[in-house]
């Protein structure tokens, strides 16, 4: 008997596994598909985008999805199994390895509650080796000592929910090597928020380590249900026998491929960084409050202890804020998920933190926009000057946008891929739209800003720009150029750029330029406008909305 046969439930090992129509062939496209009792017609649907041939069964494990997941998790495709959320993956593991009314799983409370539920449903006993009550560290010796011959799986959650701490790979390796016939299932639902290596880096060293990952948290895909098992190929093959025949619906495959495209990953990574910095900011504020203990966290939530968790819970609820009461796990604790900057500020204020908005919040926005013509990702931070990184595929335009950010005094990272092989029109216009929207979003309610800006000077070419962040988009543009092109950049697109920007930023922009050299004139316009914008967005000493209306 080989190692795996010895530890898999005998009936699962013996069964051939259901062989679905789509499992027998990887690619049936282009064939007359009369093998799966499907309907040849598409159903009525109002959503046309990204749906595909949904009258057909999906492939049980879509190749493109496996390839993408394997790439982001740094393993080979044969080591990957994809299911409906990590919850389903855990359930599959229990059904593969545990014999009902005989076997056990081990958990290390306080930890994720669903392990217990799966075991209860399956008729499996749960043995518990608690984490340290002071710092929630793993009791490695206790885990090893308490494992017996019926213990089939040990679930280790790192970063742990609800405590937020991580277990070291060294500890996990020690457990795996001491218990070679027990599956060590490492739940890394929150690992993307931690600055520690994933256990995927050690799966090749220990055949009994399996890692579970999810797109629910860091990739903002909780509503789509995508979880992944990473293990040696032999375990993947057995787990496939237990997983339902067609777990990944066709629309879901399309969504996954879009979210995990290079652009999608760039956006997800920016948001992970934002959430991490918010977590650290919230942590600092909360620890400054008397009567509260906040546990350090490597996840997108914080656990904190107060003297009366019930009272705090009810008080927040009355203020319209739901957080999680974790008193059953750790006395008088509450767990709070890191939300957007605004949401976090509401919680902090509700808990009694005095926030000075002007000092606390960096005004920033991350935006992406995708059409058939362009794909744009923009990150803007009005309260930082660097980095400025622009790449639109149009050299002159990049140069102008760098001027805009540099002289506007704000950080902007913008990448655009457009149909520049046709002409520059769509890319320039859509970049303006995204910048306008990002600036508007970053400005928020415009509290504390200067609102107006103006500038007059330039040398040979004299550019003039005034700007009012008025909430109404208007462009007045006076410019006569001698050339229609600067390099290969059409000068008419300058007006179009500012028109789209004025429209999306909801600003009145007045631009005028005179001169001889078109390059100087356009550059002058971008710089003058940037200076005006810089003055307008800079904060004053007061925190008022600069309008007698009280709103802009």
Footprint of ligand PMP on this chain (CB under 6 A)?
85-87, 112, 157, 161, 187, 189, 214, 216, 222, 227
263, two tokens: 């652009």
Residue 366 CB neighbours (<10 A): 19
Q: Give the strand pairing for 374-381 and 183-187.
A: unpaired
Nearest approach in angstroms of CB 87 to ligand PMP is 4
The Cα–Cα gap between 377 and 368 comes to: 4
Q: How far is the CB of 109 from ligand PMP (least distance, A)?
A: 13
Separation CA 529–CA 454 (nearest Å): 8
Backbone angles phi, psi at 253, to 5 degrees: -55, -45
Q: Which residue is nearest to ligand PMP (CB)?
A: 85
- Write down the least CB distance from residue 206 to ligand PMP, Å: 21
β-bridge pairing 183-187 and 151-157: parallel
Residue 359: which H helix or E strand, with range? helix 357-360
The set of residues, in sequence order, having a beta carbon less than 8 Å from that of 114 and lying 6+ positions away, is 87, 90
Tell me whether residue 172 or residue 380 sits nearer to ligand PMP (CB atom). 172
Q: Which is nearer to ligand PMP, 126 or 353 (CB)?
A: 126
- Give the Cα separation of 49 and 6 in Å (integer): 48
Nearest distance, CB of residue 113 and ligand PMP, angstroms: 9
Instruction: Give the shortest CB-155-to-ligand PMP separation in angstroms.
Output: 9
| Tokens linked to 405 | 């950010």
Element (H, E) at 347: helix 341-350
* Cβ proximity to ligand PMP, 61 vs 214, nearer residue: 214
Instruction: Give whichever of 79 and 216 is closer to ligand PMP, judged by the CB atom.
Output: 216
Separation in Å, CA 193 to CA 217, 366, 431 = 9, 18, 30
Cβ atoms of 144 and 179 within 8 Å: the answer is yes
Phi, psi at 391, each rounded to 5°: -150, 105
Nearer to ligand PMP, 91 or 468 (CB): 91
**Closest separation between CB of residue 250 and ligand PMP, Å?**
20
User: Which CB, 75 or 400, lies closer to ligand PMP?
Assistant: 75
Closest distance to ligand PMP from the beta carbon of 97 (Å): 18
Task: Please list the residues that pair with 462 across neighbouring strands.
Answer: 514
Closer by beta carbon to ligand PMP, 203 or else 536: 203
We find the least distance from the C-beta atom of residue 461 to ligand PMP, in angstroms, to be: 57
Q: How far is the CB of 319 from ligand PMP (least distance, A)?
A: 24
Q: At 411, is the secondary structure helix, strand, or coil? A: strand
Closer CB to ligand PMP, residue 227 or residue 515? 227
**Residue 519 CB, nearest distance to ligand PMP (Å)?**
53
Q: How far is the CB of 510 from ligand PMP (least distance, A)?
A: 51
Is 62 or 85 the residue whose CB approaches ligand PMP more closely? Answer: 85
Smallest Cα–Cα separation from 126: which of 136, 141, 111?
111
> How far is 92 from 95, CA to CA, in rounded Å?
5
Distance in Å, CB of 75 to ligand PMP, minimum? 18
Distances from the Cα of 503 to the Cα of 164, 231, 430, 461, 495, angstroms? 44, 52, 12, 26, 12
How far is the C-alpha of 272 from the C-alpha of 280, rounded, in Å? 12
Which CB, 215 or 282, lies closer to ligand PMP?
215
What distance separates the 2 farthest-apart alpha carbons in the chain?
88
How far is Cα 102 from Cα 266, in angstroms, rounded to an integer?
Answer: 47
380 within 8 A of 412, measured Cβ to Cβ: yes
CB of 59 closer than 8 Å to CB of 250: no
What 3-state DSSP class applies to 473?
coil
**158/411 with CB nearer ligand PMP:** 158
Measured from the CB atom, is 160 or 500 closer to ligand PMP?
160
């Amino acid at each position: 008997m080989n190692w795996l046969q010895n530890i898999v439930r005998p009936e699962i090992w013996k069964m051939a596994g259901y062989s679905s129509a789509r499992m027998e062939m990887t690619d049936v496209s282009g064939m007359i598909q009369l093998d799966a009792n499907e309907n040849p017609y598409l159903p009525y649907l109002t959503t046309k985008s990204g749906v595909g041939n949904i009258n057909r069964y999906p492939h049980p494990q879509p190749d493109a999805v496996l390839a993408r997941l394997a790439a982001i998790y740094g393993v080979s495709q044969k080591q990957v199994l994809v299911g409906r959320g990590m919850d389903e993956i855990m359930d599959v593991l229990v059904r593969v390895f545990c014999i009902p009314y005989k076997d056990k799983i081990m958990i290390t409370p306080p930890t994720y509650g669903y392990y217990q539920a799966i075991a209860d449903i399956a008729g499996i006993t749960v043995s518990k080796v608690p984490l340290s009550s002071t710092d929630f560290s793993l009791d490695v010796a206790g885990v090893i000592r308490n494992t017996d011959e019926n213990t089939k799986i040990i679930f280790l959650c790192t970063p742990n929910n609800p405590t937020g701490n991580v277990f070291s790979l060294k500890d996990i390796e020690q457990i795996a090597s001491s218990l070679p016939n027990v599956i060590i299932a490492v739940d890394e639902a929150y690992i993307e928020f931690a600055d520690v290596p994933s256990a995927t880096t050690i799966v090749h060293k220990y055949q009994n380590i399996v890692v579970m990952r999810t797109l629910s948290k860091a990739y903002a895909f909780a509503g789509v249900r995508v979880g992944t098992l990473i293990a040696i190929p032999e375990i993947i093959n057995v787990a496939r026998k237990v997983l339902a025949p067609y777990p990944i619906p066709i629309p879901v495959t399309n969504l996954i491929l879009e979210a995990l495209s290079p652009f999608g990953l760039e956006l997800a990574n920016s948001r992970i960084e934002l959430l991490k910095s918010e977590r650290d900011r919230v942590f600092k504020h909360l620890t400054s409050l008397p009567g509260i203990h906040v546990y350090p966290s490597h996840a997108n939530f914080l656990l904190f202890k107060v003297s009366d968790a019930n009272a705090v819970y009810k008080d927040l609820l009355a203020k319209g804020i739901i957080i999680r009461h974790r008193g059953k796990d750790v006395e008088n604790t509450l767990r709070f998920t890191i939300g957007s900057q605004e949401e976090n500020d509401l919680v902090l204020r509700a808990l009694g933190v005095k926030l000075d908005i002007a000092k606390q919040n960096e005004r920033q926005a991350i935006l992406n926009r995708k059409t058939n013509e362009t794909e744009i990702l923009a990150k803007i931070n009005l309260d930082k000057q660097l980095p400025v990184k622009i790449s639109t595929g149009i050299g002159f335009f990049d140069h102008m946008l760098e001027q805009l950010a540099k002289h506007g005094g704000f950080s902007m990272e913008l990448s655009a891929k457009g149909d520049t092989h046709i002409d520059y029109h769509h890319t320039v216009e859509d970049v303006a739209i995204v910048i306008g929207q990002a600036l508007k979003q970053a400005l928020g309610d415009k509290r504390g800003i200067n609102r107006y800006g103006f500038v007059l000077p330039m040398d040979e070419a004299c550019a003039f720009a005034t700007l009012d962040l008025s909430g109404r988009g208007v462009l007045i543009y006076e410019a006569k150029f001698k050339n229609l092109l600067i390099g290969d950049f059409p000068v008419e697109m300058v007006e179009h750029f500012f028109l789209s920007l004025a429209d999306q930023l909801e600003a009145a922009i007045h631009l005028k330029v005179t001169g001889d050299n078109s390059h100087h004139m356009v550059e002058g316009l971008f710089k003058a406008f940037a200076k005006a914008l810089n003055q307008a967005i800079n904060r004053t000493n007061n925190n008022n909305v600069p309008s007698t209306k009280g709103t802009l």
